[in-house]
Amino acid sequence: MILIYVDHDRGEIDPLAAQVATMARSIDDDVQAVIVGSNAEKCVDELGKFGVTTVHHGVDDRLADYTPLASARAVLAVMERTSPRAVLAASTPRGNEVLGHIAAIRDLPLASECSQISLTGADTAEVSRARWGGNLLERSKVTGDPLLATVQAHAVVAQEAPVAASTDAFDVPLTDADLLVGIVDRTGAQATGVGLAEAKVVVSGGRGMDGPEAFAMLEELADILGGAVGCSRVVTAAGWRPHAEQVGQTGTKVAPDVYLAFGISGATQHIAGCKSAKTLIAVNTDAQAPIMTHADYAVVDNLHTLLPVLIEKARAAKGA
Ligand SMILES: Cc1cc2nc3c(=O)[nH]c(=O)nc-3n(C[C@H](O)[C@H](O)[C@H](O)COP(=O)(O)OP(=O)(O)OC[C@H]3O[C@@H](n4cnc5c(N)ncnc54)[C@H](O)[C@@H]3O)c2cc1C
């Protein structure tokens, strides 16, 4: 059996959970999941859609928001009872943190950012995983029972395999120390519109936008195309846009049908976040910018004069 840890945000399931369940099913037919927090009930049906047969639900009001060590305790409690062959999670900061705690407590290795996983023996596995921002693909042998691994975003395409998932509600054995790290406050803009990680179109801006004002044009274009706005780290570091919109190694990894990059040079750390796009369109005044070699369509132009024209054409094409 493969056990997956599923993160959620106040009941909204992590969209990557479907991919993790799909990866787990490619290893073993029996896939079970752990979720925590008394507000997580609505994730159960969603997990059933992706072939998860049993959802172990750690019901506890104190875990309504993400609580890393307590989540690890919940997974450990289920591991004790069910002896899974592998425990997987999405390779997000949270997934890596929870499995990192489990690895430390159980003194087991953790393979993060895996794009392929095969169990080769009772306590051995082979994994392929992205290193150095995706520039190096490493194949590793891992010894540990169970295997602990996190799954790289968009390494697999989520495939539905509907089953009626049953729920196993349980009390999470917690001490006060398990609750020392948790979310105490949430500030900043609440996400609206299409989520960056699952958007089919991402309209992204970099330093070439010359300031926060020009992002109004990207918002407009994203709105017409039904997409989301993204940006480079220079942009978030300058405070032009929130970190939630950063695409890249230390931001969100996206896999849209179309990624439009305006005034982004294409540093390896940025490409690490958008290389799964089906079509990459780059607009840059510099024909030699690295992003132009990655782009399916490389447009050498000034974004400030091109964007108003694009918006007008997109609006006309959509009849909006
Ligand atoms: C550990 C680490 C992690 C990192 N993680 C990330 C990450 O997650 N995401 C990320 O993005 N970066 C990340 N970076 C930073 C990365 O190395 C680059 O510095 C950054 O991506 C550059 O941002 P940029 O392309 O917007 O800016 P620049 O590199 O300055 O490029 C600006 C581009 O705009 C073009 N331009 C200028 N004016 C115009 C115009 N009018 N019209 C059209 N084009 C124009 C220029 O020709 C240039 O190519 C990381 C760096 C490190 C060290």
Determine the distance separating the centroid of ligand 1 and the alpha carbon of 210, expressed in angstroms: 12
Q: Residue 297: beta bridge partners?
A: 281
pLDDT of the residue at 191: 56
Please classify residue 143 by burial: count the beta carbons closer than 10 Å to its beta carbon, then call 0-12 exposed, 13-18 middle and 19+ buried. exposed
pLDDT of the residue at 270: 97
pLDDT of the residue at 198: 86
Determine the distance separating the centroid of ligand 1 and the alpha carbon of 8, expressed in angstroms: 31
To test the pocket of ligand 1, the residue of 217, 284, 304 to mutate (highest count of ligand atoms within 8 Å of its CB) is 284
Which atom of ligand 1 is closest in space to residue 291's alpha carbon? 49
Residue 86 backbone dihedrals phi, psi, to 5 degrees:
-150, 150
Cα pseudo-dihedral 69, 70, 72, 74, rounded to 10:
170
Q: What domains can you pick out in the chain, each with its CATH number?
A: 2-179 (3.40.50.620), 201-318 (3.40.50.1220)
243, 236 Cβ separation under 8 angstroms: yes
What are the tokens at 181?
């790290």
To test the pocket of ligand 1, the residue of 196, 202, 245, 249 to mutate (highest count of ligand atoms within 8 Å of its CB) is 249
pLDDT of the residue at 264: 98
Angle at 55 between CA 43 and CA 49, to 5 degrees: 55
Which atom of ligand 1 is closest in space to residue 247's alpha carbon? 9
Per-10-residue mean pLDDT of the chain, 320 residues long, equals 96 94 97 93 92 96 94 98 98 96 98 97 96 85 98 94 95 95 78 80 98 97 96 97 93 94 97 95 98 98 98 90
242, 252 Cβ separation under 8 angstroms: no
Hey, whose CA ends up nearest to atom 51 of ligand 1?
269
pLDDT of the residue at 149: 98
Which atom of ligand 1 is closest in space to residue 268's alpha carbon? 17
pLDDT of the residue at 234: 98
pLDDT of the residue at 130: 86
Q: Residue 284: beta bridge partners?
A: 300
Residues 6 or more apart whose CB falls under 8 angstroms from that of 238 comprise none
Pocket of ligand 1 (CB under 6 A): 206-208, 232-235, 246-251, 263-265, 267, 269-270, 273, 283-286, 289, 302-304
How many whole angstroms separate alpha carbon 264 and alpha carbon 293? 13
